[in-house]
């Protein structure tokens, strides 16, 4: 398994483009990813009851199992826009389908940005024509840029997996969680691979990878109306991965973890990446539940912003996580320093630890000593800038 | 039912005091509430797994059903202090018991403040002697002051309930939720009444009142290690309330709601009280669950700090609350203005609503149109000061 340069266009037979169609006040705002041949498709979508039209539409595409393209716009979530909004989304898919000469049911749609505003669909349609002209095997980076909203950097990763039957590639782009100015964020992730794999196996592999990557990511506890992770597998490598599903899943999981970490590091107002591991838990789900409760505590996140080794807030969050554990047996370590054990704080040097917490990656390791399972969750700290970004915009 | 001046000393046969024993760097930090005669006692405690010794101890007092006094200190939560911390707590109860000549099992203990530091127990014991000397039927206000940590104002309420058999009184003091500098917050509430009532009935009435008051209060989602609500009923009014349990429960609930509102208004960094009502829900619990999800959303809270009529964030929080509803049927109103209906925003005047949101009390009313139940939850907005208070302290 080798990390390589590139993103969704690293696997064979994929082209992409990112163009400006005029939804946002500036910058690229329309991304197109196309597989030269029909690809198997899998996806996971937001569980939000108020899901946007693109989520409802793309679920059907995934159920059908075959896709040629992903079209995504930023700057407008096309959520809470009524029946008209649903039709705008259909038009997006139809325009791509018409130009690719494929069924609209083979086009995944995605939108991110403000809620409750109609999409300027004519601009989007013109943008699709432009993107189609600019499609290129080097277009992954432009596509990554085009899905950004309050993200400060594009996020992309690619990997080469060496299997006995040959090499397969996986690439991905993602955009930031942390709800987004002016209104609503979306965690979007688009993945491509040239592996040969049937849709049901692809769906299972994606689900497992997401469980330990994006489902272990939390910026501010919010599940948006538009979240989705979608993967296209076009088989162009000629390598069938069904016999190596475990290797393939691990490669995909690693790639998703890197993208999740990039999202956390670029969370709104974030000054650092925070990695919270719960070890010695009876099950993975309990470990993740506790790690997430700690990760989402505004008190823990503000303490980390202040570089404060405030283990008391970590313990309090553990205690209310709903996970059963013995506070006398649990241990807490901050940046590798044991700060709490046997029901009491250790005699650590708070001033020294305060300095160490100024690092750009901070780790919190909790050992429950109750079992053998563990989970890692990624988040960021909670700063003045988070409040500024989310309070100062006026609808 | 009449609101009257006073607090825990408004009911007959109660005396209180608030003194400085030297735990905090300044101000009163030890409160004592005493019933002249043994009182029935009921209480509700934090569900945090890492509960402090005072919680574990006072649970036993409540189970036994009779109490003479409540002793509470601020500035130190006496949590995560090991076996020594538990013994310090026992000494607190013993000192009060010795001076009152009652069993230690009749003394409720409570602590709030920093986690993981031993209590200066000698200072506390001297403070108890002082408080015993200062006990007075006008001491409720001093007791309310003595339990403050980052609270900016003391919180107290009292009520007179007129029943056919005579008048009974209920009084209460509370201290702020919102986790607290330097370390850990606690929501504490101590209630007194001169009603005659047996412990099991008192426990039930308290539970029902807390369900629709303190359990509808959220500052920053955190359940502390030390939270408790305790009520003493000494029967000094000579009025048995068992035949009027419903009236008594309503009076208690109203008093608790007022105290909960005071806590929300005084949340860390709060600039306004936010009242979120979910109507038309199938059950009270579902209504409360959704209202709480909206109340705890950092995105909703930062928008309210910015006076932004950002209904999209409210809808997104509703959607991820886990409560089943139809987004096309639900309605959202901010400060009395309908902003979302039939799956779309209304044509409201955003600039005018922005001005109206500058009020010191903001209401969000959500109507699901799915049932007949409703719940109201209280919280506050999320400001720069919240981050400052919780980030700038260094342990």
B82, B179, B225, B356, best to mutate vs chain A, most A CBs in 10 Å? B179
Which pLDDT score, from 0 to 100, does residue B178 have? 60
Mean pLDDT, all residues of chain A: 92
Mean pLDDT, all residues of chain B: 92
pLDDT surpassing 70 at residue B277: yes
Please indicate whether residue B186 is annotated as part of the active site: yes
- By the 8 A CB rule, do B22 and B202 touch? no
Could you tell me which of B248, B197, B189 has the C-alpha nearest to residue B217?
A: B189
Position A267 confidence tier, pLDDT thresholds 50, 70, 90: confident
The three-state secondary structure class of A54 is helix
Position A245 confidence tier, pLDDT thresholds 50, 70, 90: very high
Number of Cβ atoms within 10 Å of the Cβ of B245: 15
pLDDT surpassing 80 at residue B391: no
Q: How far apart are CA B319 and CA A75, in angstroms?
A: 21
Which pLDDT score, from 0 to 100, does residue A63 have? 96
Which pLDDT score, from 0 to 100, does residue B182 have? 33
Number of Cβ atoms within 10 Å of the Cβ of A347: 7
Q: Say whether A298 and B395 touch across the interface (CB within 8 A).
A: no
Give the tens place of pLDDT for each residue, B354-388.
999 999 999 999 999 999 999 999 998 888 887 77
Consecutive H or E run containing A52: none
Q: Say whether A115 and B318 touch across the interface (CB within 8 A).
A: no
Which pLDDT score, from 0 to 100, does residue B224 have? 64
Nearest to A302 among B82, B342, B390 (CB): B390
Q: Say whether B325 and A49 touch across the interface (CB within 8 A).
A: yes
Which pLDDT score, from 0 to 100, does residue A387 have? 79
B292, B320, B381, best to mutate vs chain A, most A CBs in 10 Å? B320
Average pLDDT over residues A224-249: 93
Which pLDDT score, from 0 to 100, does residue A220 have? 59
The three-state secondary structure class of A270 is coil
Q: A-chain residues within 8 Å CB-CB of B48?
A: 316, 319-320
Catalytic residue among B186, B218, B271, B376: B186
pLDDT surpassing 80 at residue B222: no
Which pLDDT score, from 0 to 100, does residue B122 have? 97
Position B223 confidence tier, pLDDT thresholds 50, 70, 90: low
Residue with tokens 């005047």: B349
Which pLDDT score, from 0 to 100, does residue A178 have? 60
Average pLDDT over residues A80-108: 96
- State the smallest CA–CA distance between residue B147 and chain A in angstroms: 20
Exposure string over A106-136, b if 16+ CB within 10 A, otherwise e: bbbbbbbbbbbbebbbebbbbbbeebbeebe
Q: Minimal Cα distance from B310: which residue of A?
A: A395
User: Would you state the structure tokens that stand for residue A15, as one six-digit string?
Assistant: 């082209």
Average pLDDT over residues A194-219: 92
Percent of chain A residues topping a pLDDT of 70: 95
User: Would you state the structure tokens that stand for residue A343, as one six-digit string?
Assistant: 């029901």
Which residues fall within 8 angstroms of residue B57, CB to CB, at 6 or more apart? B86, B89, B90, B93, B109
Position A226 confidence tier, pLDDT thresholds 50, 70, 90: confident
Q: A-chain residues within 8 Å CB-CB of B224?
A: 316
The three-state secondary structure class of A216 is helix
List of E strands, chain A: 2-4, 14-19, 30-45, 66-76, 107-114, 155-163, 166-175, 188-193, 228-233, 273-281, 331-334, 337-341, 344-345, 361-367, 373-380
- State the smallest CA–CA distance between residue A20 and chain B in angstroms: 25
Question: Burial, B87: exposed, middle or buried (Cβ in 10 Å; 0-12, 13-18, 19+)?
Answer: middle
Q: A-chain residues within 8 Å CB-CB of B320?
A: 47-49, 222-223
Q: A-chain residues within 8 Å CB-CB of B383?
A: 387, 391
Position A181 confidence tier, pLDDT thresholds 50, 70, 90: very low
Q: A-chain residues within 8 Å CB-CB of B313?
A: 179, 183-184
Nearest to B393 among A306, A327, A395 (CB): A306
Q: Say whether A299 and B395 touch across the interface (CB within 8 A).
A: no
Q: B-chain residues within 8 Å CB-CB of A298?
A: 220-222, 298, 382, 386, 390
Q: Minimal Cα distance from A224: which residue of B?
A: B316
Give the tens place of pLDDT for each residue, A308-351.
998 988 998 998 898 999 999 999 999 999 999 999 999 999 99
Give the tens place of pLDDT for each residue, A110-155.
999 888 899 999 999 999 999 999 999 999 999 999 999 888 899 9
Average pLDDT over residues A75-101: 95
Q: Say whether B345 and A114 touch across the interface (CB within 8 A).
A: no
Q: Say whether B327 and A391 touch across the interface (CB within 8 A).
A: no
Q: What backbone phi and psi angles, to 5 degrees, belong to B8?
A: -65, -15
3-state secondary structure A332-390: EEECCEEEEECCEECCCCHHHHHHHCCCCEEEEEEECCCCCEEEEEEEECCCHHHHHHH
Question: Burial, B348: exposed, middle or buried (Cβ in 10 Å; 0-12, 13-18, 19+)?
Answer: middle
A372: left (phi over 0), alpha (psi -120 to 50) or beta: alpha
Of residues B286 and A313, the one with the higher pLDDT is B286
Nearest to B303 among A324, A384, A391 (CB): A391
Which one of A136-145, A225-234, B204-213 scores highest in mean pLDDT? A136-145
Position B161 confidence tier, pLDDT thresholds 50, 70, 90: very high
Average pLDDT over residues B145-152: 90
pLDDT surpassing 60 at residue A260: yes
Which pLDDT score, from 0 to 100, does residue A67 have? 98
Nearest to B327 among A50, A114, A313 (CB): A50
B357: left (phi over 0), alpha (psi -120 to 50) or beta: alpha
Q: Distance of CA A339 to CAs A193, B11, B279, Å?
A: 44, 46, 46
Q: Minimal Cα distance from B305: which residue of A?
A: A391
A226, A320, A324, A389, best to mutate vs chain B, most B CBs in 10 Å? A320
3-state secondary structure chain B: CEEECCCCCCCCCEEEEEECCCCCCCCCCEEEEEEEEEEEEEEEECCCCCCCHHHHHHHHHHHHCEEEEEEEEEEECCCCCHHHHHHHHHHHHHHHHHHHCCCHHHEEEEEEEECCCCCCHHHHHHHHHHHHHHCECCCHHHHHHHCCCCCCCCEEEEEEEEECCEEEEEEEEEECCCCCCCCECCCEEEEEECCECCHHHHHHHHHHHHHCCHHHECCCCCCCCCCEEEEEECCCCCCECHHHHHHHHHHHHHHHHHHHHHHHHCCCCCCCEEEEEEEEECCHHHHHHHHHHHHHCHHHHHHHHCCCCCHHHHHHHHHCCCCCCCCCCCEEEECCEEEEECCEECCCCHHHHHHHCCCCEEEEEEECCCCCEEEEEEEECCCHHHHHHHHCCCC
Nearest to A299 among B222, B354, B392 (CB): B222
Residue count of chain A: 395
Q: A-chain residues within 8 Å CB-CB of B379?
A: none
Domains, chain B: 2-265 (3.60.70.12), 273-391 (3.10.20.340)
Which residues fall within 8 angstroms of residue B66, CB to CB, at 6 or more apart? B38, B39, B40, B41, B106, B199
Number of Cβ atoms within 10 Å of the Cβ of B14: 27
Q: How far apart are CA A117 and CA B162, in angstroms?
A: 55
Nearest to B183 among A298, A302, A310 (CB): A310
Position A49 confidence tier, pLDDT thresholds 50, 70, 90: confident
């Amino acid at each position: 398994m080798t990390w390589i340069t590139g993103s969704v266009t690293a696997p064979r037979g994929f082209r992409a483009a990112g163009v400006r169609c005029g939804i946002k006040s500036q910058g690229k705002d329309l991304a197109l990813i196309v597989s030269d041949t029909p690809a198997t498709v899998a996806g996971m979508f937001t569980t939000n009851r108020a899901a946007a039209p693109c989520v409802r539409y793309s679920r059907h595409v995934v159920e059908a199992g075959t896709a040629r393209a992903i079209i995504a716009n930023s700057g407008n979530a096309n959520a809470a826009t009524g029946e008209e909004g649903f039709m705008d989304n259909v038009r997006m898919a139809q325009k791509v389908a018409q130009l690719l000469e494929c069924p609209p049911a083979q086009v995944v749609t995605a939108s991110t940005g403000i809620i409750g505003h109609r999409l300027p669909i004519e601009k989007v349609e013109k943008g699709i024509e432009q993107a189609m002209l600019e499609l290129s095997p080097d277009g992954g980076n432009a596509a990554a840029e085009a899905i950004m909203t309050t993200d400060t950097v594009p996020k992309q990763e690619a990997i080469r997996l060496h299997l006995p039957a040959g090499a397969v590639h996986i690439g991905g782009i993602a955009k930031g969680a942390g709800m987004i100015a002016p209104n609503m964020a979306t965690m979007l992730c688009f993945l491509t691979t040239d592996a040969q794999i049937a849709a049901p196996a692809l769906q299972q592999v994606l689900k497992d990878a997401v469980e330990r990557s994006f489902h272990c990511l939390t910026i501010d506890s919010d599940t948006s109306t538009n979240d989705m992770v979608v993967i296209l597998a076009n088989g162009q490598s000629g390598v069938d991965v069904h016999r190596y599903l475990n290797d393939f899943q691990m490669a995909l999981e690693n790639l998703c973890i890197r993208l999740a970490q990039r999202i956390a590091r670029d969370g709104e107002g974030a000054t650092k990446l925070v990695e919270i591991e719960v070890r010695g838990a009876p099950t993975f789900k309990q470990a993740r539940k506790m790690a997430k409760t700690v990760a989402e505590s505004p008190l823990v996140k503000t303490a980390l912003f202040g570089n404060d080794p405030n283990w008391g807030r970590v313990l309090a969050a553990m205690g209310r996580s709903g996970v059963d554990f013995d506070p006398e047996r649990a241990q807490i370590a901050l940046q590798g320093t044991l700060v709490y054990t046997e029901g009491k704080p250790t005699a650590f040097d708070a001033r020294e630890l305060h300095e160490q917490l100024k690092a750009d990656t901070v780790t919190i390791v909790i050992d429950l000593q109750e079992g053998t399972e563990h989970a890692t969750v990624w988040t960021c700290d909670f700063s003045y800038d988070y409040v500024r970004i989310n309070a100062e915009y006026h609808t």
